[in-house]
């Protein structure tokens, strides 16, 4: 690929108290090779060099991101003045790799791989192979927008699904298909049907396309975003750009790339990579990503347990001690401990609402 854009804009509360408003998930380590953003960057370096890589993140996190990625040239971390969901972030990336006053090497038909900063993918070589397959597919079908679809390991209800159509052919020994349809997160019943059919893939949020194709789809389907990008482009490469971007971004509605572009795009394809993938959507993912001990406990950091089974522990730099407890998520940070029944981890959001309601505890959010 000519360029890689890493989307590091996710806020999310599912990892509180490990993640905070000022320290979102992509800046955290989940037991691999450092923070997820750094792991992602190390992986995308196999696809494009740092000089052809950009990171789109929230303005307030731009400095942290730049510090974590010293190999990235100055100006390659783009701080969005406000989170406007993935369509806007991807549109902005497409603008920057295609506009003459964008990144060095930008050209209108530059190919771009877009991927989230907060997924666990391995091994990296297979990720690179999938990107090469996307490249080959784009060489034959330059107008398509390619999405990566993961062959489901079960009827997950937390992901959108891509329904596959006829195979347009891909390289690297990987399967590729036309996209019959995009489907939103399903009910469990629906998810079971999808998986049983063998024709549904998880939408993993990774896209490959030529910038011109994406901007054409945006122009056709999201005129408001297209106009905003046009207006921002007017000051691209000048000191007025940040202010202009803030102005036009403020008025934009939030829309995901799936809703805004992919569902209605005319020319699409889905590639099925063969790497291991985890979106690390909750602490329960630790139980997949890390080996459990003999008692079925999975721990990041120091953990000592007596007569305790099936717990998921993140001790950070500290120590978590368990006595006689089962099936808990225990997350220790300097100032906060969360103790949550494993199947209740979705309720962290509700808990944070309660923390806000109570008042006086904002420093822990």
The answer to whether the beta carbons of residues 355 and 338 sit under 8 Å apart is no
Q: What is the DSSP letter of 48?
A: S
In whole angstroms, what is the distance from residue 186 CA to residue 172 CA? 31
The minimum distance between CB 348 and a copy of itself, in angstroms, equals: 7
In whole angstroms, what is the distance from residue 75 CA to residue 213 CA? 24
Of 103 and 322, the one with the shorter C-beta distance to a copy of itself is 322
The answer to whether the beta carbons of residues 116 and 7 sit under 8 Å apart is yes
Of 29 and 212, the one with the shorter C-beta distance to a copy of itself is 29
The minimum distance between CB 310 and a copy of itself, in angstroms, equals: 13
The minimum distance between CB 300 and a copy of itself, in angstroms, equals: 13
In whole angstroms, what is the distance from residue 233 CA to residue 110 CA? 17
Cβ count near 247 (within 10 Å) = 14
Beta bridge partners of 330: 313, 339
**Residue 200, H or E segment:** strand 200-210
The minimum distance between CB 83 and a copy of itself, in angstroms, equals: 25
Cβ count near 196 (within 10 Å) = 10
The minimum distance between CB 218 and a copy of itself, in angstroms, equals: 41
The residue among 19, 24, 20, 32 whose CA lies nearest residue 300 is 32
Applying CB under 8 A, which residues contact a copy of itself? 17, 302, 304, 306-307, 315, 317-325, 328, 330, 332, 334-341, 343-345, 347-348, 350-351, 354-355, 358, 361, 364
Sign of CA dihedral 123, 46, 259, 77: positive
Of 51 and 339, the one with the shorter C-beta distance to a copy of itself is 339
Of 231 and 343, the one with the shorter C-beta distance to a copy of itself is 343
Of 222 and 303, the one with the shorter C-beta distance to a copy of itself is 303
The minimum distance between CB 240 and a copy of itself, in angstroms, equals: 43
Of 185 and 341, the one with the shorter C-beta distance to a copy of itself is 341
The minimum distance between CB 283 and a copy of itself, in angstroms, equals: 12
In whole angstroms, what is the distance from residue 280 CA to residue 14 CA? 10
Half-sphere exposure of 256 (CA within 13 A, CB side): 13
Q: From residue 353, how far is each of 198, 337, 359 by CA, in Å?
A: 40, 16, 10
The minimum distance between CB 308 and a copy of itself, in angstroms, equals: 8
The minimum distance between CB 327 and a copy of itself, in angstroms, equals: 10
Of 193 and 307, the one with the shorter C-beta distance to a copy of itself is 307
Could you tell me whether strands 3-8 and 175-177 are parallel, antiparallel, or unpaired per DSSP bridges?
unpaired
Of 269 and 328, the one with the shorter C-beta distance to a copy of itself is 328
In whole angstroms, what is the distance from residue 131 CA to residue 121 CA? 13
Of 88 and 315, the one with the shorter C-beta distance to a copy of itself is 315
């Amino acid at each position: 690929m000519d360029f890689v854009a890493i989307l590091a804009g996710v806020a999310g509360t599912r990892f509180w108290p490990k993640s905070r408003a000022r320290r979102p998930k992509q800046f955290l380590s989940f037991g691999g090779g450092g923070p997820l953003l750094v792991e992602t960057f190390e992986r995308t370096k196999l696809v494009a060099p740092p000089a052809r890589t950009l990171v789109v993140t929230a303005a307030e996190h731009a400095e942290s991101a730049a510090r974590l990625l010293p190999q990235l040239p100055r100006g390659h971390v783009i701080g969005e003045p406000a989170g406007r969901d993935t369509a806007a972030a991807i549109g902005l990336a497409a603008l920057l790799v295609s506009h003459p006053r964008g990144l060095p090497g930008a050209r209108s038909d530059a190919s771009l791989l877009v991927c989230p900063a907060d997924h666990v993918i391995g091994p990296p070589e297979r990720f690179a192979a999938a990107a090469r397959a996307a490249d080959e597919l784009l060489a034959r079908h330059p107008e398509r927008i390619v999405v990566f679809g993961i062959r489901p390991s079960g009827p997950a209800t937390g992901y959108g699904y891509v329904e596959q159509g006829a195979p347009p052919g891909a390289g690297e020994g990987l399967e590729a298909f036309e996209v019959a349809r995009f489907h939103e997160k399903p009910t469990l019943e629906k998810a079971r049907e999808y998986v049983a059919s063998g024709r549904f893939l998880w939408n993993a949020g990774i896209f490959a396309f030529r910038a011109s194709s994406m901007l054409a789809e945006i122009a056709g389907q999201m005129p408001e975003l297209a106009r905003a990008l046009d207006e921002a482009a007017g000051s691209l490469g000048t000191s007025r750009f940040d202010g202009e971007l803030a102005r036009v971004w403020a008025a934009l509605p939030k829309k995901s790339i799936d809703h805004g572009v992919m569902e209605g795009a005319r020319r699409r394809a889905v590639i099925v990579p063969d790497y291991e993938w985890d979106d690390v959507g909750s602490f329960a993912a630790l139980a997949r990503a890390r080996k459990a001990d003999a008692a079925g406990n999975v721990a990041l950091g120091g953990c000592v347990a007596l007569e305790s089974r099936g717990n998921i522990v993140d001790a950070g730099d500290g120590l978590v001690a368990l006595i006689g407890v089962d099936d808990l998520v225990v997350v220790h940070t300097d100032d906060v401990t969360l103790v949550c029944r494993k199947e209740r981890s979705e309720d962290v959001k509700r808990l944070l609402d309660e923390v806000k309601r109570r008042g006086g505890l904002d420093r822990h959010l």
